[in-house]
Amino acid sequence: MSPSPDTRKIQIQHGGIALHGLHDALSSFSKSNADAILATSLLLMTQANDWRTWSSLETGIRTVTVAMAGWKHESIFADLVNLSPYKPSEDPRALPSMQERHGILSNVLASLQRLQPVLAANSPEAYWIEQLLGYISYLLNTPPAQTAAEQFEQLYSLRKWVLFVPSLLLDKPMVDGPSTLVVAHLYATALALEPLFPSLGSSFCAAISLPPLERIIQITAPMQTDGQFGQHALEISSLMHFPQQAASTYRARLAWTQQHLEQIQLQHTPQQSPYTPVFNLDGVNTPFMSFGNLSPGFVPSSIDHVREENRMSSGS
């Protein structure tokens, strides 16, 4: 898609129409329109680039999936809802220490740097690793974001890449090793950075990264022990160490979180009825009515003008 102003105006127009349609569907929620509500919410969620819009959509999806409990197995889209059971608002976590933050970012940076030399110069794969390296360097030199809105702004670029870069690299007749390795490192980066943004929770970026990363690990695991790959088997094993470690560590955090939630017997239940609107749809005050709040996620952008985008968006 083109990043032109005309294209963005079309996106905003149709985003507003979709939100109003969502409002109408929620007011007459039923088994017959539940999948349409989920599909619309998920699509709008991929385009939301401000905290207020994204958190509103997340709350709505959680509410609808709870209401669908009796027939969720019949849904076409329920399996696409990758929301963590942990909600930061119900059991807030503190930011990690500066030492822990530096250790996490330094480990990610070193892992990306190890992959960089095996990629062909000026290739799309090399370009995206450079983008990730620039992003991690930016975080290393930026104070930790404190509020949920600030954390959203810092992590937004990575979420956008997680959503759209894999299709850019893997949409070809023969998927090659470099593309797969870069995508694996992108997903692994999202998992590794999750503790640095506790106000967002894993639903924002990590939860959508784990399933495809585990699939890549499953596919590449036999290659690491297959004798026919020779020296390449050792190289694959070495380069996949970071993605495998990130997935394992994240899985362990998920298990701990689940046990923690069970121990404190979290009783929170969404108070909003799925039969009433759960989104802010007050005309021009709706986030999607603001020019600049639809994601330019379909086009590549460097971290330099990602920051400029954020400044422009916040000033609009």
- Give the pLDDT band of residue 116 (cuts 50, 70, 90): very high
Band of residue 296 on the pLDDT scale cut at 50, 70, 90: very low
| Residue 65, both tokens | 């999936």
Residue 94 has what pLDDT?
85
Is residue 19 domain-shared with residue 137, that is, in the same domain?
Answer: no
Which residue, chain included where needed, has tokens 């990602």? 306
Question: Do 190 and 309 sit in the same domain of this protein?
Answer: no
**What is the reported pLDDT for 309?**
45
Q: Which of 263, 283, 304 is the last residue of a domain?
A: 263
Task: Please give the residue that has the higher pLDDT: either 99 or 275.
Answer: 99
In angstroms, the CA 63 to CA 29 distance is: 11
Q: Are 182 and 169 in contact (CB under 8 A)?
A: yes
- Considering the domain architecture, whether residues 253 and 276 belong to the same structural domain is answered as no
Q: Looking at the structure, tell me whether residues 25 and 109 fall in a common domain.
A: no
Domain endpoint, select from 225, 247, 263: 263
92, part of any domain: no
Mark whether 59 and 104 lie in a shared domain: no
Report whether pLDDT(285) > 70: no
Q: What is the DSSP string of 73-108?
A: GG-SSGGG----S--TTTS--PPPPHHHHHHHHHHH
Contacts of 168 (CB under 8 A, 6+ apart): 124, 300
Residues 19 and 113 reside in one and the same domain: no
Environment class of residue 49 by beta-carbon count within 10 Å: exposed (0-12), middle (13-18) or buried (19+)? buried
The number of folded domains in the chain is 2
From 245, 263, 281, give the residue that closes a domain: 263
Which pLDDT band, with edges at 50, 70 and 90, does 260 fall under?
Answer: low
Claim to verify: residue 59 and residue 107 sit in the same structural domain: no
Note the pLDDT tens digit of each residue in 138-174.
999 999 999 999 999 999 999 999 999 999 999 888 7
Are residues 247 and 275 located together in one domain of the fold?
Answer: no
What mean pLDDT is reported for the chain? 79
The boundaries of the domain holding residue 231 are 98-263
**pLDDT confidence of 132, banded at 50, 70, 90?**
very high
User: What local confidence, expressed as pLDDT, does residue 49 receive?
Assistant: 82
Structural domain includes residue 159: yes
Residue 231 in any domain: the answer is yes
Shared-domain flag, residues 46 and 163? no
pLDDT digits (tens, 9 = 90+) for 31-44: 888 899 988 988 88
DSSP per-residue string spanning 180-236: HHHHHHHHHHHHHHGGG-TTT-TTTTTTTTHHHHHHHHHHHTGGGT-GGGTHHHHHH
pLDDT digits (tens, 9 = 90+) for 196-223: 999 998 889 999 999 999 999 998 887 7
User: Are residues 206 and 142 part of one domain?
Assistant: yes
93 domain-assigned: no
49, part of any domain: yes
Same-domain status, 232 and 286: no
How large a percentage of the chain has pLDDT more than 90? 39
The one-letter amino acid code at 41 reads: S
* 102 & 202 share domain: yes
Distances (CA, A) of 33 to 18, 22, 42, 54, 66: 14, 10, 14, 22, 15
